[in-house]
Amino acid sequence: MKLWGGRFRKEENKLMEDFNSSLHVDKRLYAEDITGSIAHVNMLVQCSLLTPKEGEDIVQSLISIREDIENGTLPIEGNYEDIHSFVESNLTHRIGDTAKKLHTARSRNDQVAVDIRLYAKNKALEVVEYIEELQSSLEKKARENNVIMPGYTHLQRAQVVTFQHHLLAYYNMLKRDRQRVLNAIDIMDESPLGCGALAGTTHQINREMTAKELGFKKPVDNFLDGVSDRDYLLELMSSFSILMMHLSRLSEELILWSSQEFRFVTIDDAYSTGSSIMPQKKNPDAAELIRGKTGRVYGSLTSLLTTMKGLPLAYNKDMQEDKEPFFEALDTVQSSLQIMSKMIATMKVNSENMKKAVKEGFLNATEVADYLVSKGVAFRDAHSIVGSIVIYCEDHQKAIEELSLAELKQQSPFIEDDIYEFIEYRNILNKGIKVGLLK
């Protein structure tokens, strides 16, 4: 059963065999493994390294293996070292000796590298689609909710903004996240097939042909590099980590906003859970899990960075440890994006509570200072005058706009009747936030 048994006098130790096997993890790559092999065989035929009949037999059998895996008649299990051994053993079982020619001019080192690149590329494109879905959920919510809300710094009420502007901040973060994933795909879009184990092959093969058939821009420029780097997985996981950091911040806000302290949004029942003891509880678990799972994605990135950092060129078996963290990060990002889209699309926005919150907390204090500047007061002086207006308001339990003109004039003779219009919240918004809004 071993692809490499010839040189060995003894059986592999059973513990070692289990320790070495990656089938339970890399079985995900079966389709890419078969696609890569088909391209390889087609090229071998074109380069007269296989006869057309041999090529046809192998390709047809590879296709039937893929079909059987997909219709459930060929489960990927058993005592195989990895997905490559599994596919090749099954091929031999089906067509006998011809199958033994499949691995001509190829190593598992370039084979696995091409499998992962194909898989990562396709899955990263799915991530791009999920990002776009979340962007449209945010855009739609933003469009429907151009309502006034407090903006915060240090989680203290700061200046007035709109819920639309706030949601669109995340829309813009996601726009860059999407571009980062696309950039990573662009950089990794080269085929390692034909690098062999590390030094190419003495056979006259055609790497351009396989690169083209597999949809890569070109073959890689250096064989040692092609089989021994996983920077493309690291780059994707870095983009995923940044993306998760954004989703985690949004989650944190949803958790705060849905609390009794804020009541700015209501998360739909479908994305919440309850408590086994406290009957009244409705917890924002989906958002908490996204925030929590962000740690896993960072962990996956750190794990592979650490695996790679001390490896001499070229391939080392350590690199088999690339798949688990990558799959983990990928799955987490995909499910988090989907859940977040649904949570945003279904949440209710409690605009009245946002409006109420705007009225408490002196969110127009900066604009009172701006008003004074417009009357000729230096900004630093204006800042200090408004500071004492705020103290006065706190002592008298009033908002600035609730003070009478006489009270305001006591603080500064420059204040006139036109101040009320100047510091009205909607007017502030219309004058202040000029970008980042939906048309």
Q: Which are the contacts of 295, defined by CB distance < 8 A and separation ≥ 6?
A: none
- Catalytic site residue 238? no
Tell me how far, at minimum, the Cβ of 299 lies from ligand ARG, in Å. 20
Tell me how far, at minimum, the Cβ of 82 lies from ligand ARG, in Å. 4
Residue (of 353, 347, 358) closest to 151 by Cα position: 358
Q: Quick one: 199 or 405, whose CB is closer to ligand ARG?
A: 199
Residue (of 403, 380, 377, 381) closest to 390 by Cα position: 403
> Does position 235 bind ligand ARG by CB under 6 A?
no
Tell me how far, at minimum, the Cβ of 99 lies from ligand ARG, in Å. 19
Residue type, position 190, single letter: E
> Does position 230 bind ligand ARG by CB under 6 A?
no
Interface residue with ligand ARG among 33, 57, 82, 229 (CB under 6 A) is 82
Q: Cα–Cα distance between 327 and 246 in angstroms, integer?
A: 20
Stretch that binds ligand ARG, among 62-70, 239-247, 315-323, 400-408 (CB under 6 A): 315-323
Q: Cα–Cα distance between 40 and 52 in angstroms, integer?
A: 13
Packed helices 52-70 and 30-46: angle between N→C axes, nearest 10 degrees: 170
Q: Quick one: 103 or 249, whose CB is closer to ligand ARG?
A: 103
Q: Quick one: 257 or 315, whose CB is closer to ligand ARG?
A: 315
Q: Cα–Cα distance between 229 and 218 in angstroms, integer?
A: 17
* Of residues 136-175, those binding ligand ARG (CB under 6 A): none
Residue 261 DSSP one-character state? T
Q: Quick one: 83 or 423, whose CB is closer to ligand ARG?
A: 83
Stretch that binds ligand ARG, among 155-163, 257-265, 312-320, 384-392 (CB under 6 A): 312-320
Give the contact letters, 89-128, x = binds to ligand ARG (CB under 6 A), - = no: -------------------xx--x----------------
Asked if 288 contacts 255 with a C-beta cutoff of 8 angstroms, the reply is yes
Residue 412 DSSP one-character state? -
Q: Quick one: 214 or 349, whose CB is closer to ligand ARG?
A: 214
Q: Cα–Cα distance between 99 and 55 in angstroms, integer?
A: 10
Q: Which are the contacts of 207, defined by CB distance < 8 A and separation ≥ 6?
A: 191, 193, 194, 219
Q: Quick one: 151 or 200, whose CB is closer to ligand ARG?
A: 200
* Of residues 240-259, those binding ligand ARG (CB under 6 A): none
Q: Quick one: 319 or 429, whose CB is closer to ligand ARG?
A: 319
Asked if 337 contacts 247 with a C-beta cutoff of 8 angstroms, the reply is yes
Stretch that binds ligand ARG, among 33-41, 156-164, 311-319, 380-388 (CB under 6 A): 311-319
> Which of 93, 136, 203, 275 is an active site residue?
275
Q: Cα–Cα distance between 354 and 348 in angstroms, integer?
A: 12
Interface residue with ligand ARG among 105, 188, 220, 319 (CB under 6 A) is 319
Number of residues that bind ligand ARG (CB under 6 A): 10
Asked if 130 contacts 341 with a C-beta cutoff of 8 angstroms, the reply is yes
Q: Which are the contacts of 368, defined by CB distance < 8 A and separation ≥ 6?
A: 382, 386, 389, 400, 419, 423
> Which of 48, 154, 276, 404 is an active site residue?
154
Q: What distances in angstroms separate CA 299 from CA 17, 370, 389, one per listed residue? A: 27, 47, 50
- Catalytic site residue 154? yes
Stretch that binds ligand ARG, among 8-16, 32-40, 121-129, 317-325 (CB under 6 A): 317-325
Asked if 84 contacts 323 with a C-beta cutoff of 8 angstroms, the reply is no
Give the contact letters, 12-51, x = binds to ligand ARG (CB under 6 A), - = no: ----------x---x-------------------------
Which residues have a catalytic role annotated? 154, 275
Q: Which residues bind ligand ARG (CB under 6 A)?
A: 22, 26, 82, 108-109, 112, 315, 317, 319-320
